[in-house]
Each structure stands twice: as structure tokens, then as C-alpha cells.
Structure 1
Amino acid sequence: MTENKPLIIPELVALDADAGPSKEDVIEFLAATVAGAGRASSPDGLAADAKKRESTAPTGIPGGIAIPHCRSSHVLAPSLGFARLVQPVDFGAADGRAADLIFMIAAPDGADDFHLQLLAKLARGLMQTEFTDALRQAADAEEITRIVTKQVQPELLDGGEEAEDGAVGEAGSAAGSTQGDGAVGSKKAAASSAPAEGQTVIVGVSSCPTGIAHTFMAAEALEQAGKDRGITVAIEGQGSGKIDALDPELIKRASAVIFAHDLPVKGRERFAGKPVIDVGVKAAVNDAGSLVDKALAAVDDPSAARVPSGGGSSEESEEGSEHWARRLQRSVMTGVSYMIPFVAAGGLLIALGFLLAGYDVANLYEKISISDYSLWNLPGNEFVHEIKNSADNVVGTETITVSQSGLLLYIGWTLFLLGQAAMSFLVPALAGYISFGLAGRPGIAPGFVMGVVAVQVGAGFIGGLVGGILAGYFAAWLAGLNAPAWLRGLMPVVVIPLGTTLVVGAVMYLVLGRPLAALMTGLKHGLTSMSGGGSAVLLGIILGLMMCFDLGGPINKAAYLFGTAGLSEASASNTAPYEIMATVMAAGMVPPLAMSAATFLRSRLFTKAEIENGRSAWLLGLSFISEGAIPFAAADPLRVIPATMAGGAVTGAMTMAMHVGSRAPHGGVFVAFAITNFGGFLLAILAGTVVTTALVIVLKGLGRNADGQGGKEGAEAQAAAAAA
């Protein structure tokens, strides 16, 4: 087989064809077309291989296009079968549009890099509207052949070579056709012009199971989306053939990474530490623009996911080499991260409910049904609660009086109930996503069930932690068993969730339930006792130190979880959880506020990048986003972290001493309505900020003198030395 053998000839083209009502019919029609042109030995065998590939993922793409494809032992030469259908057929495209342009990409089992690159160029062409418009407007099979050949093998036209079987004539220009990509096999770095100085760069990897279609369509779509936004996007297609690796210098310049893949990423460690958007390959084909936008947003998001550091060339190798303690820590953090939205949404809704309906709306919870009222039947301020015995007989009544009535009470009551509903997912979400972090998707269901069990037995968030960890490890163990072939398909959806729920659920109910409940009860009583007297100040100091130690890391999140978990236990007679929540929030606001103040007061002690970060850190601090101080702590941990911990301890002690309380789990000063003794709240934050600011300035000044360097140049030199 010569390298200039055409992929498409007129005999492989069917215009205005009626191939049948289903995609299976269309695949069989095109397989017969390829075999009829002498390019496949068995139409049935080729169709079977193509349908097998189709069953793994639909090959429809937005714009009325489908690309069924496969590598098959029945293919005699790399070929493109094409059909323009009279009646479009649904191939499962994301936009819901049925396909009228169908390419069957048929490659031999041993297709070499050259031909795979040609097929990749077709995949890129299909992402260009000029190319697809020309296909729809073409008058005959010869014109289709010229349009496609110009995209994938322009040298056959430009060189005036006659293709076999009279497929391609002299050089010609089909209306609306597009220019090819250039020489096959060129390096990505060479093919792409170097980005301009200061231009944003995003790099990434695309891959699909066969590596001859979606891989390169995703790359083309992402790179085009980058051009539309005035930035450089360079994607490495990890297809079946030779990989044109990204230039290491380009990776070094990149601000973010996009992985659009259905196979493990090769050489993942090259991108370590960069913000990452990680999706399946079809997500890039269907909506590349939103992925690029997300990557740009991740650049400035300190909490964005990042490519893990360390060796390994694939996801499996990274996970397999991960230390068990690190894996457990990561999984617990996963659970906490997924739990926080439930807490934040639920807590803020409850706080809004209190704002509108008054704090005594909580007295209606679980006693009076809101369904008895509506916008046309608004509640008053008195309610009668029937007290029933175990036989459901009324044995007495209780009159409940609240401060509000009418529309405000009804709306506030509704918000309060919505908040309580969200908060009820706190422990199940924690357990479910810890299990997910350890075992993947099969661990979610049993993890959630263990969270519900923990609530039922009174074990609270401690039970959720234990139940989620046990469920995750047991589900991962089941997943690692060598199941027979007939059972493998049922493992992730039936066997693992069912087996894990049965075994771990029994352990939680029969063995661990009572001890964990006793531990949780003891912890609650201990906290209640510490919240009064001198112990309250000590508790505030401890929480303040934890919140300011690693700024969004495990210790910070542990303190935050400690505060939020208690909100569901708070009441008018038990305000300790509110005080703990206020302490956690106030202390977490200190680091970014202090770093912003320090960069303003003594800018010569900081680098230009730190000064820029300081200009926005104050807003992050007011919003209770501790991560705003991470850039400062990362650049100079020995001076910044002790200073922030000192300020956090001062703030924590003061909030507990002044009995500041917060019914909202997040929001900083913007949830002032949910904070009792708001003046004390602000005073404690101010005191901690002053302490941290002063210590940072003093410590950095001492460090500057010791190093014998001054000004911004000295700070930048120190930062450069630390990074070297």
C-alpha cells in the first residue's frame, strides 16, 4: 500500500441515499458500500465491528453529522465511506439533531501512523462549517471526492497525481472546501505558531478509545474555541498512532490544562500543579467553548482542581502508587468538599428564614405542617399542636405562639424548611462522597446509606466519617475481585452497592452504632461545657489556630466541619453551636484581610504578584474565603503562617468571650443579619487582623535585614530562590 493511495473515491460515496430508519441500518449500508468498492473483505464483518464501536458511545456530533468508525480486520485499505441521507437518522448527537452527513471511517487493524493522521485531518475538518456546507451543496460523487481529498490528502490534488480507479482528477477547487492541515506528522510545537508574549496559554490532551475521530475533533474544537477568545489553546491528541507531544516550553507557559479523554492521560505528570478541567472527550466535541471558559475561570480560582504532582503516566499508576494515608485524606477532603454546598445553602436558607419569620419559627418545625397554609390562606401567629400517644390518640394540645404572621411568616417558614431539608443531607453527603473518593461511582450509594444510618443511630458526623470510610474500602475491595465475565457488567451497578450496603450496614447497626453514638454524645456535652466560662476562650483559641494553619487544607476544613456539623443541633436553649460557628467564620476571615492590609502598608516587603493579590484579598476575607491568603503563605510560609495563626487565635478567643453567634455557616460580613452581637464579631476580626498584619510586617522586615536585601527586589529574589 502506498502512502498516496486515496482514502475516498467516488465508489465510496452515496448521495441522497435512503439507508434506512436506524443508525444500524446506515452502518450496514456504508459497510456494504466500502466492501463493494473493494476496500473490505466482508461487509457483515465490518458492520459488526462498527456497530460494536457504536455501542460504546454514540458517534453523532452537533451539526447533523455522524462518524461511525472502527479498526477492523476486514478492512483491506484505510477508507472513508460517505453517505448524504435523504432522511436524517439519529446518531445520538448532543444537540439532538439527526445526522444527514455520515462518514464511515474504516481503518485496518494494523493501520500505520500515516493513515491515522489522515483520518485525524478529516475529523478536524468536520468541525469547520465551511467544509460541511460544501458537502451538503456538492452536486455529485466526484465533487464530494475532491472536497474530502483536499481536506485530508491535498498533495494528491496539488501534485496533479491520478488516484487509482480514476478517483481523483487534476487539481481543482471545490466550492466551499477547506485547506488541509499541512504536512502529516508535524510536531505540535512546530505546527503551531508561538503565542505572543503575555498571551494566555491553555494546553491539554484529548483521547478516545479508537483514537481516530473524537480525539482530533476535540482537539480542533478546543483550539478553535481558544482562537475565538483571543488566547492560545494547544491540545495533544493521544490517538492510536504516534503522539505529537506538546512542546515542554508551551506546557510551562500554560495557565491551565484541559483533559478531554476517555482513556488514561499519558504523561500526566508534565502538567502537575496546574488548574485542570477533566472531562470526557465528547464534552469537548459538543461544547468546547464552555470548557475553555471554565479553564480560564480556574486560573484565578484558588480552590480549583489541579493536576496532582508526582510520577506516573496515567490515572491508574498515580492512584496505584498513592500512599494509603494520602488516599484516605484525599477521600475525606472529597467528602467535605461535596458536603459544603449542602451546608452553605441550607444554613443560609435557615438564616433567611429567621430574618423574615423570626427565630421562633423553629418552634413550628416538625409540629405544624406548612401544607395547611398557602398564599391564599396565610398563617396567623398562633398554632395548636395536638399531642398524641403511641397509639396515635390525641392526649392533649399545645399552643405555639410566634412573633410574625401572614406573608412574612409564610415565606420565612418556607425558607426555613428548605434549609432544614438541605441540612438533612449533611451527614449522608459526607459519607457518600468519602466512599466515592475511595471506590469511585460504585461507592456513592452505599456511602449515602451509611450516612443515613449514622443519623438514625445518633452517631452524627462522626458516624458519617466512619461509615463512609468503611463503605469506600469495602466497595473498593469488591471492585478488585476477579469476577467471572458474565458478572462483570453487574458489578458496579448491583453487586458492589448491594454487597457493600449489606455488610457495612450490618456492621454499623450491630457493632459500631452504639459506640459511635456514645462518642458523639460525649463530644456534644464536652463542647457545651466548654462554651461557658474560661474553657470557651480556650476552645476559641484552638479553633482559631486550626482555621489559620493551612488555609483551606485538611486542618482548616476539619475546624469548619466541626462548626457546621453542630448547627443542626442548635436551639434557643443550646446556643453553643452558633458561637462555635461564629468563631470559625471570624478566624477564617483574618488571614486574607491581614495580608491585604500588610501589602498596602508595607508594599516594599512584597513582590509585585503579592501586591496584586493583596488588592483583591480584602474582598475574599470579608466573604470568609480563607484561601485568599494561600499565595502569601506558599511564598513565605515560615513568616506568614505563624502570623496568621496568632491573629486567628486572638479572634477566636474574643468571639467566644463575647458570645458572638452565627446562624449562617458562610458569607462573612454579608450575613450580618444572621450574626448575634455583630459589633463584637467585627471587633474580634479587627483585633486579629491587626495582630497578623503587625507580625507579618515585623517578621518580613527582620527577614529582609537578615538576608541583606531590601525592597521589592529583595522579596522577589527570595521568592525566586525558594522556587529554584
Structure 2
Amino acid sequence: MKLLAVTSCPTGIAHTYMAAEALQMAAKEMNVDIKVETHGSIGVENEITDKEIKEAHAVIIAADTKIDKTKFQGLTIVEGTVQDAIKNSKGLIEKAMRLENNKSQYVENVSKIKENRKEKKKGPYQHLMTGVSYMIPFVVAGGILIALSFAFGIHAAENEGSLPWALSLIGGGSAFALMIPILSGFIAYSISDRPGLVPGMIGGMLSAEIGAGFLGGLIAGFLAGYTIVLLKKWIKLPKTMEGLMPVLVLPLLSSLIVGLLIIYVVGRPAATINASLSNWLENLQEGSAIALGLVLGLMMAFDMGGPVNKAAYAFGVSTIAAGQSSSVMAAVMAAGMTPPLGIGIATLMAKNKFTREEREAGKAALVLGISFITEGAIPFAAADPLRVIPSLMAGSAVTGALTMLFKVKLAVPHGGIFVLPIPNAVEGLLPYIISIAIGALVTALLVATIKKPKTE
């Protein structure tokens, strides 16, 4: 049997390729022919051709973002998340083979899947993660360019026409200005396909202009997407005029509805909440700040790239959206670096607690850790979750709390250790490095202590 698969995670950095590798390894063990297309941060790789679709029996879509399934029409489709592919790749392959061999059960199974998804509320999460996945490159590029402008001095960008001014204009004036419209537009796109982009991006732009910020952008995206869904359902034109729907009727009406709602209904309350959140973060007392850092650390290590981790990261990004250094973003990035670093150190400290393959993987985990790719710890957590995950959470909680205690601030939303040498990118560079090191050591010591010895 010949299978196809597509994998895609919100960041397109680690989970996408881990899911692809897991499916390929499982298929090899099961003697099944499979080709996996990955939708990563650099675009589509190993793209599936029309000829391969004609020859295939079924397709597995393991994605946390929206995937266009139209080209797979006629094939048996099995859907799951990237975590499903990483943790239960054989189960997905077996399901695809079973459904293909017994297509009479397919409709029933699809109905069950849809019901389960409604119960688990995966829909809104997938829409949100689609928006976040398109937004992240703008945030990262903009943040690093702003940090590079700081390298010439905190106020160097005020000199119009200078290189720091140009870097700040590209990063803050352009990349960051597009961040919220992109978020809103692609949330709407995930809900209602291409027609959602126009009202979504317009709603996001309005949210940014009136101060509603990240929260307003989220609301605008969902509002635009579901407005398009309702308009498609309510408006029925004669066949001779159907061509007007995507180019005139839907963009015009949806933009008008979403725009007016953002300006007169949603915008002001969202702007008030946004301002209140900023003031609250600025005025956090030491005890509250430490508690917030601890919670963010726990969230970053809990599922290492899953929904809880992404929620913490999105919160960090929302605080840096104004182009200013953020203590929350500092805690989030540090706590996200800690799990793979701690695991990597543990494989060096307690070699008898890991197999030869795990010790080799520990070296890769160290590289992923310094790069702020939390997913590097997932294979170890999956192999021994009851001992490893609490250890990871403890180390990240310590790191998050310490960054808040030391009042560290970060102007860059991603990049790990590679952005730390940029002058003025971090307020409190030495305490920041110390916080990450202490948290990683806490994780390493706990893992080395509570894991059972392995025999080769």
C-alpha cells in the first residue's frame, strides 16, 4: 500500500520534521511505502506530485495549522495533530490502511473524528495557531532588526537617515506594523479560506491603529472568519453573478461589518484591556513578578511546543508587540531554552541513566536548547514522561522566576543564545545567562537523580 502524509506545526521548526521522521520510521518498520510533505518555516519541502496522488491509496495529515486538502480529493484522509504523529505514528498508519481496506466504515469514522474535535475544541486552537505560524517570522525578523538598531545606542534610531534609523524603520515601522494584520488575516483565512484575508487584515490593521493590539487582532481574526462563513451561507446569487462573490460582495460586506465592529464595539474595550495589561506588567511587585515567571516557566515546559507552551509564547509576543523590551518575553524564551539544555546536561552527568542512542540525542538537545527550540526535549519526555516532564517543569519554573527576580528584559522574541550578544538586546545579560544555567542544572540534577539506570 502506498501512503502520503503532510506535517505542519505552527512554528515550522521542530515538530513538523519530528512528525515526518516518526511517520517515515514507522512506515519502514511496517513495510509500507510513504512520502511525507513538510510545511516548515522555509516553505513546502518534499512536495507531493499529482502523479503520486493518483498512485496513492490514502493520505495522513498531521498538522496543527490549516492544510489545503482539495488536491487530495478522492483519497482516504486520516487527520491528526503533529503530536499524534510523533507519539502514535503507527496508529495513524494503521488507521489509514484500515479505512482504505474498509471504506464502508469511512463516513462513520469521519463523523466520530468530527465529534471528538468539537468536544476537544481543536478548531479555534488550529485557527489561532495558523495565524501565529504566519506571524512569527514577522515578529522574529522585526525584533532582531530593532535589536540591531539598539546596538548603535538606545537613542541612535532617532537620527533620521542613519543606519540605526533605517533598521528601526524596517523592524518596528514595517515588520512589527504588519504583525497584527498578518495574525488576524490568517486566523480568518484558517476559518474561511482566502475570502477571510481581506476583512481579517483590515480588522487587524484597525486594531493596531486604535491601540487594541494583540487582543484586538485575535478578535478581529475570528470575527472576520466567521463573518465570511455567515455571508456565504446567507447570500445566494444567480449563477451568472457568482463570480462577484469573491471579488466584490464578500470583501466589501465583510470589511464593512468587521471594520465597524472593531471601531465602535470591540476596539475600545480591547484597547482598555491592552493598556491595563501593559500597566499591570510594568507595575508588578517583586513577589507577583516572580510568581508570573514561575507560571510561565511551568507552561513552557509542560508540553514543549504544544498548546500550553504556545499560549505562553503568544503572551510573551503580545508584550513585545510595541517594539519595547519585555520581562515576560525574557522569562518565556529562557524557560523555553531550559528543558533541552537540562536534558543534554543530564546525558553527560548520568550516562548510566541513558542508552547510547539517548546520549547521542542529548548532544543534539544541547544545540536545540541554545537555539530556543524547546521541542528538543520531547523524545526524552515521551520515553519517560512521569520522571522527565516534572523535572523539566521544575527547571523552567526556576528559570522563569529568576529572570523576573533579576528584572531581565528582552527586546527579541526568538533566536536563543545567538541574539544575546547583540548590544542592548537584553537588559541584564549576565543575570539572564545565570538564570538559564541554574534552571538547566536543576532539570539535569532532577533527571539524573530520579531516572532509573539503563542497560545497553
- Counterpart for residue 476 of structure 1: 229
Task: Decide whether the 8 Å contact of 2:210 with 2:267 is kept in 1.
Answer: yes
Is structure 2 residue 144 aligned with structure 1 residue 334?
A: no
Is structure 2 residue 237 aligned with structure 1 residue 237?
A: no
- 3-state DSSP class of the match of 1:359? coil
**Cα pair distance change 1:217/1:487, threshold 3 Å:** same
Task: Decide whether the 8 Å contact of 2:57 with 2:75 is kept in 1.
Answer: no
- Counterpart for residue 584 of structure 1: 332
- 3-state DSSP class of the match of 2:302? coil
Q: Deviations over 1:261-292 (max 9, x none)?
A: 734252222x86679xxxxxxxxxxxxxxxxx
**Cα pair distance change 1:606/1:533, threshold 3 Å:** same
- Deviation at 1:634? 2.8
Is structure 2 residue 436 aligned with structure 1 residue 688?
A: no
Q: Deviations over 1:407-441 (max 9, x none)?
A: xxx22221121101101112111111111111111
- Counterpart for residue 434 of structure 1: 187
- Counterpart for residue 278 of structure 2: 524
Q: Deviations over 1:177-212 (max 9, x none)?
A: xxxxxxxxxxxxxxxxxx99999964379xxxxxxx
- Specify the code of the residue in structure 2 equivalent to 1:337: S
**Distance (Å, rounded) in 2 between the aligned partners of 1:259 and 1:467:** 23
TM-score of the pair, normalised by structure 2: 0.76
**Cα pair distance change 1:260/1:327, threshold 3 Å:** closer
- Specify the code of the residue in structure 1 equivalent to 2:128: V
Is structure 2 residue 389 aligned with structure 1 residue 641?
A: yes
- Counterpart for residue 262 of structure 1: 71
1:487-566 pair list within 5 angstroms:
487-530=241-284, 532-566=285-319
TM-score of the pair, normalised by structure 1: 0.49
Q: Over aligned residues, Cα RMSD in angstroms?
A: 3.6
- Counterpart for residue 156 of structure 1: none
- Deviation at 1:320? 5.8
**Distance (Å, rounded) in 2 between the aligned partners of 1:592 and 1:564:** 21
Q: 1:611 aligns with which of 351, 354, 359?
A: 359
1:163-174 pair list within 5 angstroms:
none
- Deviation at 1:456? 2.1
- Deviation at 1:681? 1.2
Percent sequence identity is 41
**Cα pair distance change 1:662/1:245, threshold 3 Å:** closer
- Deviation at 1:609? 4.6
- Specify the code of the residue in structure 1 equivalent to 2:54: G
- Deviation at 1:602? 2.7
1:263-278 pair list within 5 angstroms:
263-264=72-73, 266-269=75-78
**Distance (Å, rounded) in 1 between the aligned partners of 2:179 and 2:82:** 30
Task: Decide whether the 8 Å contact of 2:158 with 2:165 is kept in 1.
Answer: no
**Cα pair distance change 1:333/1:196, threshold 3 Å:** closer
Q: Deviations over 1:19-57 (max 9, x none)?
A: xxxxxxxxxxxxxxxxxxxxxxxxxxxxxxxxxxxxxxx
- Deviation at 1:352? 1.0
Q: 2:407 aligns with which of 646, 654, 659?
A: 659
**Distance (Å, rounded) in 2 between the aligned partners of 1:319 and 1:514:** 39
**Distance (Å, rounded) in 2 between the aligned partners of 1:464 and 1:319:** 30
Task: Decide whether the 8 Å contact of 2:394 with 2:443 is kept in 1.
Answer: yes
- 3-state DSSP class of the match of 1:442? helix
**Distance (Å, rounded) in 1 between the aligned partners of 2:320 and 2:309:** 18
- Deviation at 1:648? 0.9
Q: Deviations over 1:582-616 (max 9, x none)?
A: 21111110011111122233344335553342220
Task: Decide whether the 8 Å contact of 1:570 with 1:578 is kept in 2.
Answer: no
Q: Deviations over 1:208-245 (max 9, x none)?
A: xxxxxxxx9843xxxxxxxxxxxxxxx4526xxxxx74
**Distance (Å, rounded) in 1 between the aligned partners of 2:364 and 2:74:** 35
Q: 1:351 aligns with which of 135, 138, 147?
A: 147
**Distance (Å, rounded) in 2 between the aligned partners of 1:217 and 1:333:** 27
**Distance (Å, rounded) in 2 between the aligned partners of 1:337 and 1:468:** 14
Unaligned residue ranges in structure 2 (runs of 5+): 1-26, 38-47, 61-66, 87-91, 100-105
Task: Decide whether the 8 Å contact of 1:461 with 1:565 is kept in 2.
Answer: yes
- Specify the code of the residue in structure 2 equivalent to 1:361: A
Q: 2:177 aligns with which of 411, 420, 424?
A: 424
Task: Decide whether the 8 Å contact of 1:218 with 1:260 is kept in 2.
Answer: no
Structure with greater contact order relative to length (CA < 8 Å, sep ≥ 6):
2
- Deviation at 1:457? 2.1
- Deviation at 1:661? 2.1
Is structure 2 residue 414 aligned with structure 1 residue 671?
A: no
- Counterpart for residue 12 of structure 2: none
Task: Decide whether the 8 Å contact of 1:265 with 1:313 is kept in 2.
Answer: no
Task: Decide whether the 8 Å contact of 2:157 with 2:164 is kept in 1.
Answer: no
**Distance (Å, rounded) in 1 between the aligned partners of 2:365 and 2:177:** 33
- 3-state DSSP class of the match of 1:619? helix
- Counterpart for residue 223 of structure 1: none
**Distance (Å, rounded) in 1 between the aligned partners of 2:397 and 2:378:** 18
**Cα pair distance change 1:478/1:203, threshold 3 Å:** same
**Distance (Å, rounded) in 2 between the aligned partners of 1:691 and 1:326:** 34
**Distance (Å, rounded) in 2 between the aligned partners of 1:196 and 1:518:** 55
1:390-409 pair list within 5 angstroms:
none
**Distance (Å, rounded) in 1 between the aligned partners of 2:206 and 2:338:** 37
- 3-state DSSP class of the match of 1:203? strand
- Counterpart for residue 629 of structure 1: 377
Task: Decide whether the 8 Å contact of 2:410 with 2:427 is kept in 1.
Answer: yes
Q: Deviations over 1:40-89 (max 9, x none)?
A: xxxxxxxxxxxxxxxxxxxxxxxxxxxxxxxxxxxxxxxxxxxxxxxxxx
- 3-state DSSP class of the match of 1:268? strand
- Specify the code of the residue in structure 2 equivalent to 1:625: I
Bigger-Rg structure (1/2): 1
Task: Decide whether the 8 Å contact of 2:338 with 2:369 is kept in 1.
Answer: yes
- Counterpart for residue 700 of structure 1: 451
**Distance (Å, rounded) in 2 between the aligned partners of 1:259 and 1:427:** 23
- 3-state DSSP class of the match of 2:35? strand
Unaligned residue ranges in structure 1 (runs of 5+): 1-194, 206-215, 220-234, 239-243, 252-257, 276-298, 301-305, 371-409, 572-576, 702-709, 714-724
Q: Deviations over 1:691-724 (max 9, x none)?
A: 11122233323xxxxxxxx5246xxxxxxxxxxx
- Deviation at 1:361? 2.4
**Distance (Å, rounded) in 1 between the aligned partners of 2:140 and 2:153:** 20
- Counterpart for residue 720 of structure 1: none
- 3-state DSSP class of the match of 2:451? helix
Q: Deviations over 1:547-577 (max 9, x none)?
A: 2122112222222222222224365xxxxx4
- Counterpart for residue 323 of structure 1: 118
Task: Decide whether the 8 Å contact of 2:207 with 2:220 is kept in 1.
Answer: yes
Task: Decide whether the 8 Å contact of 1:537 with 1:657 is kept in 2.
Answer: yes
**Distance (Å, rounded) in 1 between the aligned partners of 2:309 and 2:139:** 16
**Distance (Å, rounded) in 2 between the aligned partners of 1:490 and 1:636:** 57
